Structure 1
Amino acid sequence: MAAEPLPGVTLTFEPRGSGEEPLRTDVAVLLGRLRRGPVGTPVRVESWRETVAAFGQPDGSSATPYALRGFFENGGRTAWVVRLAGPATAAEARWTVGELSGFAHQRYRVVASGPGPWANGGRVFLRYQASTVAGPPTVTVRVRVPGEPVETFAGLPPADVVTGLAASRLIRLIPDGPPPPPGRPGPLTASWELTLDGGTESAPGRAEYADAITTQAGLPEPALVAVPDLGTDLTGAVHTQTVADLLGSARELLDRLVVLDVPPGVSAVDDTLAWVGALTASGDADLLGAAAVYHPPLVTPDGPDTRPVPASGHVLGVIARLDAERGAHHTPANAVILEAVDLATTYPEPQEARLFDAGVNLLRCTRGRGLTVWGGRTLSAPLRDSRTRFIAHRRLLHLLVRAVRRAASPLVFDINSPELRLALVRAVTSVLLAAHRAGALAGSRPEESFRVICDETNNPPEQEPALTVCEIDVAPAAPMEFIHIRLILGADRGLEVIEA
């Protein structure tokens, strides 16, 4: 018979923001090098503390950890992180248990939880206690890795030591031998001291970045993208082509903005303009409208010293903060940058004008306000394309595309009919009405702000029954250009969103 619950109040705490929210436009994804952690696997973090727990403290070897800290310090709430590395190995040590009773295997490999040299020199202390009147055999494990908090796992059953150490952030235990013979008595206690060694890592190349670009494209939640170490890891034509691949991915998705950094070592105005010119040589406004460049780098605290850091992580935090305060349809500019003490480079006003004309958004230090973000234009600004030149315009489109996908996706497998078209119009209209009430659209009345067409004019009777077309015209509040979106639903092609 089940016991009755005691009277009183029971509090249950749910973790904040634990579920993914694809409709959000303040979530970032950063691709780059970090001290430790899984390689190529996206990890979702909601604070700087969670970031350190998953990837370790910054060690000065890469820019991505400092960019992540800048993101959270400037108001960012959620980020996905994809650690990049070239060919790498994890540090490890061999642990021979022998014929001690209770263990499932005679030998194990103690392996660092992620590849790289970060665990080299780490010490693992293990102590075995045989059965006593106090209970069955137990194993206590203590892990000391330079730069990491000490981990202790006490009272693990020998047979479950592998699963017990799965909770460690620093090591994993891998069986590497046969089971011990049964019935042989062993010593009452035994101790081991192991040293991890052999961890190596190389810088990621074009292939690793290509894989990371594909990985981030498969994440529905991020709306902001940064690659803080790209300019260090790749140079020349390989760098330019990788940026083009990333922008191509964002252009196809129509739901995220890429924030780019000028590569380290490129500080002179002529060199910066040459780098921008290489990116914009294609003249593809839709491709370039998926990105914004912010320059110069920032100087941030690093213990007792300071260090230059690419601005993208801090800018993503500012965009995320303003998104929560004002909405995605507002220009993310004229806002204060936190967790930075100076600019790495300053330019006289004539040179600032040249950078601005090339589509570079400047960071400036102004008296009385400190460091601020200036400019809210995409990389297509010099092309004068009214659809793609403003960040506010693009991010409103990203919000609408995300909302429309959520509304239309459940209808993908329905057959084209008046009922389906009416349901689609209602779903899309509810999204646009919410945007109008938030002040994102122009016009004092909804009919002045948007138009949704999904009837026989764009779905004639002779059209394939499994295909439904819905056209949406939207007038953003600022800038004053129309956004035209075309939705195509088909049972064999899913939901396709096209910007006309």
Structure 2
Amino acid sequence: MTTEALPGVSLTFVPRGSDEEPLRTDVAAFLGRFRRGPAGVPVRVESWRDVLGAFGAPDGASAAPYAVRGFFENGGRTAWLLRVTGPGAVARAEWAVGDVGGFAARRYTVVATSPGAWANGARVGIRFRSSTVAGPPTVDVRVTVPGEPPESFPGLAPGALEAGVAASRLVRLVPGGPPPAPRARVPITLTWELTLTGGVDRPPDRGAYAAAVARQATLPEPALVALPDLGADLSGADHRELVRELLVTVRPLLDRLVVLDVPPGLVSVDEAVAFARELDAPGEDLAAATAAVYHPPLLVPEGTGARTVPASGHVLGVIARLDAERGAHHTPANAVLLEAVDLAVAFPVAQQVRLVDAGIDLLRCTRGRGLVVWGGRTLSTAPDLRYIAHRRLLHLLVRAIRRVAAPLVFDVNSPELRLTLVRALTSVLLAAFRAGALAGARPEQAFRVVCDEGNNPPGQDPATTVCEVEVAPAVPMEFIRLRLVLGADRGLEVIEA
């Protein structure tokens, strides 16, 4: 932003952007359908206003915008959004300038900034004013899209029109053809009224979701993942296989939790139980430990009524809020859900017991407190993989370990390197112990770091260093065992033992 301070002197203020913080465990990633916005490109947002600017207001066609709003309303601070969509078409309009001097081209194409039907009917008003005693020629552009605040770009130079409109969130100008041959006489003013058409929405298929799953895995910052529209977009085998692909992708990262929703087509308790048990198939404990299912959906205010929304977005907001207040090692249970008016379904006690036994975390409406999160377990039935607090403590430790160990991957294995690594890891674990995340009255009862000749024998490749870490969480009491392997040819590997 530039402001005039004194005649001939201007001050330029550049807003400071927020840097990514991979050590945080309260950042969420949402994969779903949005009204507009870049398709398949992750966008970092820090408020609901950022969401509206980048992706537009909710239009009722998808659940993801409402889930993201629930995330921020429940205390979430930062999220990455990936718009998942099929191969849609972009709305556009042709603009013939003709032989009006000063423009960069004889014709332009006005195109929407992203695919979809959202820009159909958008109107672009353009007014050209020729040179007068007041100054050179100028162009005013006004963009009006249904459901969006109008945008105005006054006083643009005709030759720099494309760059001037580049600040728009809604449209772009694409020049075509050679510059016009200037006419001897040009009217004082010329106006054009354009209407964009041809935008098409296509629902995402399994391939689009698979690409989004792979893309989110490359983002170092998110520690929470939700797919609010997945159950509505994919069903049957496509849905099951995509969820398993997601869990298999997330499992080796050891740094994020997936919060799933029961697909809306599974209306009975029997179907919900079968869905959860399919994800915890024999031999898939580690994959199931990366995910939790929260049920039932919520009713949130919309206009004069209410709308049913999957619970994952609101739950992620609660987890993020508790993370900031207490730390990642606290169980996200018995916490109040905000900005929801009721549960979409009320289960009798007997059905609640069946859902809990299947590993589904319930939301409940309690007298005097309203809606609360009731449950903090993953889908895994293995005792040492069952608790969300246990897994999120692991995620925090893995992120911290990567931060201190990654700069050392090119160092040669030596007593000095091993001592440096032990000191760095010990400082991380001491911080967790002092925060109350670990068990024991003394640090030596809470954790152990081994990086000596016992796991690095003399005949070992000098380019590889092995370090073993054992951690006792405060609750539950099972040990977390990690194995670190540093090597110039393999980077840093963190393996859960």
Partner of 2:470: 473
3-state SS of 2:127 partner: strand
The separation in 2 between residues aligned to 1:335 and 1:15, in whole angstroms, is 35
1:129 counterpart residue number: 129
Does the CA contact (< 8 Å) of 1:20 and 1:221 recur in 2? yes
The equivalent of 1:102 in structure 2 is 102
Aligned counterparts of 1:181 and 1:410: Cα–Cα separation in 2: 60
**1:15 CA drift (Å):** 5.5
Contact 1:101 1:184 (8 Å CA) reproduced: no
Answer with 422-431 or 60-69: which moved more. Answer: 422-431
- In structure 2, the partner of 1:459 is 456
Query: Paired residue for 1:193?
Result: 193
Question: Cα distance, 1:311 vs. partner?
Answer: 0.2
Give yes or no for the alignment of 1:440 onto 2:437: yes
Shift of 1:14: 8.2
Q: Deviations over 1:292-321 (max 9, x none)?
A: 000000000112221100000000000000
What amino acid sits opposite 2:265 in the alignment?
Answer: G
Q: 1:290: Cα distance to partner? A: 0.2
Structure 2, gaps ≥5 residues long: none
Q: CA shift at 1:16, angstroms?
A: 7.3
- Cα deviation 1:382-420 (Å, max 9, x = unaligned): x2x122100000000000000000000100111111111
- Cα contact 2:413–2:463 (8 A) shared by 1: yes
Give the aligned partner of residue 72 of structure 2: 72
- Indicate conservation of the 8 Å contact 2:99/2:183, yes or no: no
Q: TM-score, normalised by structure 1?
A: 0.96
2: CA distance between counterparts of 1:90 and 1:388? 46
Distance verdict in 2 for CA 1:27–1:305, change over 3 Å: same
In 2, are the aligned partners of 1:100 and 1:185 still within 8 Å (CA)? Answer: no
Aligned to 1:268: 268
State the one-letter code of the partner of 2:163: T
Deviation per CA, 1:211-248, whole angstroms, max 9, x where unpaired?
A: 00011000000000000000011001110010001111
Deviates most, 177-186 or 61-70: 177-186
Q: CA deviation at 1:129?
A: 0.8
Alignment partners' CA distance in 2, 1:253 and 1:197: 43
My pick for the range that moved more, 315-324 or 298-307, is 298-307
State the SS of the aligned residue for 2:403. helix
| Alignment partners' CA distance in 1, 2:124 and 2:13 | 35
d(CA) in 2 for partners of 1:292, 1:259: 5
Contact between 1:99 and 1:186, CA under 8 Å: does it hold in 2? no
Asked whether the equivalents of residues 165 and 171 of structure 1 are also in contact (C-alpha less than 8 Å), the reply is yes
Indicate if the aligned counterparts of 2:294 and 2:362 stay in contact, CA closer than 8 A: yes
CA distance in 2, matches of 1:186, 1:455: 84
Aligned length: 489
> What is the CA deviation profile of residues 38-61 of structure 1, one whole-angstrom value per residue up to 9, with x for unaligned ones?
000000000011101110010000
- In the TM superposition, what are the counterparts of 1:24-63 in structure 2 within 5 Å? 24-63=24-63
Distance 1:414 1:221, change over 3 A: same
What CA distance in whole angstroms lies between the structure 2 residues aligned with 1:185 and 1:397?
A: 74
- Residue 62 of structure 2 aligns with an amino acid whose one-letter code is S
**Distance in 1 between the 2:143 and 2:32 partners?**
27
- Alpha-carbon offset, residue 134 of structure 1: 1.1
User: Residue 100 of structure 2 contacts residue 183 of structure 2 at CA under 8 Å; is this kept in 1?
Assistant: no
Q: Report the counterpart of residue 403 of structure 2 in structure 1.
A: 406
Displacement after TM superposition at 1:177 (Å): 1.8
Letter in 2 for 1:268: S
Tell me if structure 2 keeps the 8 A contact 1:101–1:185.
no
Cα gap change, 1:433/1:187 in structure 2, threshold over 3 Å: closer, same or farther? same
Residues 1:340 and 1:13: Cα distance change in structure 2 (over 3 Å): farther
Residues 12/481 of structure 1: CA separation in 2 closer, same or farther (3 Å cut): farther
Contact map agreement 2:95 2:107 (CA 8 A) in 1: yes
Contact preservation (8 Å) 2:363, 2:374? yes
TM-score after normalising by structure 2: 0.96
The answer to whether the 8 A contact 1:26-1:223 is kept is yes
> What is the aligned partner in structure 2 of residue 421 from structure 1?
418
**In 2, Cα distance between equivalents of 1:202 and 1:443:** 55
2:390 counterpart of 1:393: yes
Deviation at 1:181, TM superposition (A): 2.5
CA contact (8 A) 2:91 2:120 kept: yes
**Residue 210 of structure 2 is aligned to residue 210 of structure 1:** yes
Look up the equivalent residue of 1:423 and give its one-letter code.
T
Q: 2-side partners of 1:226 and 1:360: how far apart?
A: 16
Preserved contact between residue 123 and residue 144 of structure 1 (Cα < 8 Å): yes
1:239 aligns with 2:239: yes
Q: Secondary structure at the match of 1:336?
A: coil
Seen in structure 2, the aligned counterparts of structure 1 residues 190 and 13 have a Cα distance that, compared at 3 Å, is: closer
Distance in 2, Cα, partners of 1:14 & 1:159 = 26
Worse-matched range after superposition: 446-455 or 262-271: 262-271
Instruction: Tell me the distance in 2 between the aligned counterparts of 1:421 and 1:71.
Output: 42
Match of 1:488 among 451, 470, 485: 485
Is 1:297 aligned with 2:292? no
| Paired residues of 2:231 and 2:265 also in contact (CA < 8 A) | no
What per-residue deviation string (whole Å, max 9, x for no partner) do you get for residues 38-85 of structure 1?
Answer: 000000000011101110010000000000000000000000000010
The match for 1:115 is 115
Structure 1 segments (4+ residues) deviating >3 Å: 11-17, 182-185
Q: What's the offset of the Cα at 1:201? A: 1.0
Q: Match of 1:493, as an amino acid?
A: R
Query: Which residue identity does 1:348 align to in structure 2?
Result: P
User: Hey, what's the Cα distance between the residues in 2 that align with 1:403 and 1:75?
Assistant: 23
Distance in 2 (alpha carbons) for counterparts of 1:14 and 1:473: 46
Q: Distance in 2 between matches of 1:281 and 1:397?
A: 23
Aligned equivalent of 1:224: 224
Contact 1:22 1:221 in 2 (8 A): yes
C-alpha separation between the residues in 1 aligned to 2:17 and 2:329? 23
Residue 13 of structure 1 deviates from its aligned partner by: 8.5
Q: State, as a whole percentage, how many aligned pairs show the same letter.
A: 68
User: Any idea what SS the aligned residue of 2:385 has?
Assistant: coil
Unpaired runs of 5+ in structure 1?
none
What is the identity, as a one-letter code, of the residue corresponding to 1:134? Answer: A
